[in-house]
Amino acid sequence: MTDHILAIVGRPNVGKSTLFNRLAGRKAALVDDRPGVTRDRREGEGRLGDMSFRLLDTAGFEDVTDDSLEARMRHQTEIAIHDADICLFMIDARAGVTPMDSQFASLLRKSGKPVILIANKSEGSAGDGGIADAHSLGLGEPVPLSAEHAEGMSDLAVRLQEFIPEALPDDKDGDRPLHLAIVGRPNAGKSTLINRLLDDDRLLTGPEAGITRDSIAIDWNWQGNAVRLFDTAGLRRRARVVDKLEKLSVTDAQRAIQFADVVVVLLDASNPFEKQDLHIASLIAEEGRAVVLAVNKWDLVEDPSRTIQELREKAERLLPQIKGVPFVALSALSGRGLEKLLPAVFKAHEVWNRRVPTGVLNRWLDEVQQRHPPPAVRGRRVRLRYATQVKARPPTFAVFTTRPTALPKSYERYLINGLREVFEMPGTPIRLFFRKRENPYADK
């Protein structure tokens, strides 16, 4: 049915037309990096999952009320809000909440229309701060989205179900396969591992380092679960990458990491945890991807039980940002230990998607403050008032306080370790932001 009207609104250049095109299934709206490309209301038929609706694309909201072109564009946006059943309010997660966003949020609250707050351009980790800030707008939980890359569309569909109940998508994640990237240093055995998983000589292998140049995507099914495997070029230290083609291969591998759900870092058992291995794992953690460490060539290890214990201790010491990361010892050549890899991958994916109810989270916050209160800064005690989970993938939390810059890094680590332990989130990156608590309904 197309009875429902959705208006996509927001300030200029936040990605409204890109989302319009994504929902319309075609390039119906002109898209450019310059702000102000859209000037009129544009209408079209949209679809997401099993839901269909009428779409309104609008000009960027400007704070002007004279007779200028910008003022007339604002008037068109106000008409779209009036006509809409649901408003999709977009902000730029990478830019954070601006004064214009706050003014727009005030206008939308006064309209009385249902609003879904969308934090666009939130791919990777650069938008996490803006997603946390979005709570200050007083419009509920933001939906992290990348309209350009179609990330987060299933989360938007779930939110739309609240307002369009006659057609519910069956599955929050739809039919999207789990994206699994295999990365590591050159000649760690990445292509051999994928061939063994597929039980097919799908990828070219050999003793020479650097055979794989492109990120090869392969669709696969593991025990009824759809998986898209990405084999990548070996990642070496930047100073050693001089060939132009190799530079492109490394960039392609880094892009595969950015858009993966889970990344398996393949270590060489004969020489694990080299500097480049640690750099790769840190890069994955910075991007907020779920991580599994796989130690290849395990058939060459003389004392497996002692070696695995040493590797776990090294990982705890050298990679504290992904404390508790799962380890799998295997041999890609013989297949030994391979049966443990995919269960570890899907477990890591489940942890990466984990959400903590707000009530449970705040009871935990009260308990940790009673056990270990935040340190006094300049004679004044810092009080943590409220916590909420901003998003999953990876688990990201915002803690509201009157003095967000006063807390030392040591207390932030204490909270992150507590979250990881109490809510059973080993090995996944955890984001934690401190925000000043403000009243979003106060006149500004």
pLDDT at res. 297: 92
End-to-end alpha carbon distance in the chain: 40
Residue 172 lies in a domain: no
pLDDT at res. 3: 67
Q: For 197-240, what is each residue's pLDDT tens digit?
A: 887 654 333 343 443 334 467 788 999 999 988 877 655 444 44
Residue 25 lies in a domain: yes
Q: What is the mean pLDDT of the chain?
A: 80
> How would you list the strands of the sheet with 431-436, edge to edge?
384-391, 396-401, 431-436
Residue 441 lies in a domain: no
Tell whether omega for the bond before 394 is within 30 degrees of 0, i.e. cis. Answer: yes
**d(C-alpha 155, C-alpha 125), whole Å:** 18
E strand map for 141-248:
143-144, 178-184, 216-222, 225-231
Residue 167 lies in a domain: no
Q: For 257-302, what is each residue's pLDDT tens digit?
A: 877 899 999 999 988 888 888 988 888 998 899 999 999 999 999 8
- Provide mean pLDDT across the span 155-171: 68
* Domain housing 310: 178-352
The answer to whether residues 264 and 365 belong to one domain is no
The answer to whether residues 398 and 418 belong to one domain is yes
The answer to whether residues 333 and 373 belong to one domain is no
Instruction: Check: CB of residue 156 under 8 Å from CB of residue 118.
Output: yes
The answer to whether residues 343 and 371 belong to one domain is no
The answer to whether residues 312 and 412 belong to one domain is no
Residue 171 lies in a domain: no
pTM above 0.75?
no
The answer to whether residues 129 and 220 belong to one domain is no
Q: What is the CATH number of the domain that holds 195?
A: 3.40.50.300
Residue where a domain stops, chosen among 352, 383, 410? 352
In sequence order, what DSSP letters do the residues of 100-117 get, joined into one string? HHHHHHHHHHHHT--EEE
Instruction: Check: CB of residue 109 under 8 Å from CB of residue 76.
Output: no
Residue 71 lies in a domain: yes
Residue where a domain stops, chosen among 130, 161, 192? 161
Instruction: Check: CB of residue 168 under 8 Å from CB of residue 50.
Output: yes
Q: For 100-136, what is each residue's pLDDT tens digit?
A: 899 889 889 888 899 999 999 988 778 888 888 898 8
The answer to whether residues 147 and 189 belong to one domain is no
Residue 443 lies in a domain: no
**d(C-alpha 30, C-alpha 292), whole Å:** 41
Residue where a domain stops, chosen among 129, 161, 193? 161
Instruction: Check: CB of residue 420 under 8 Å from CB of residue 426.
Output: yes
Instruction: Check: CB of residue 119 under 8 Å from CB of residue 128.
Output: no
Helix axes of 409-422 and 358-371: crossing angle, nearest 10 degrees:
130
The answer to whether residues 11 and 157 belong to one domain is yes
pLDDT at res. 32: 38
Which among 326, 258, 313, 262 has a CA at the least distance from the CA of 286? 258
Give the rounded distance of the alpha carbon of 199 from its chain centre.
31
Domain count, the chain: 3
The answer to whether residues 413 and 379 belong to one domain is yes
**d(C-alpha 421, C-alpha 412), whole Å:** 14
Higher per-residue confidence, 443 vs 130: 130
pLDDT at res. 209: 40
The answer to whether residues 247 and 128 belong to one domain is no
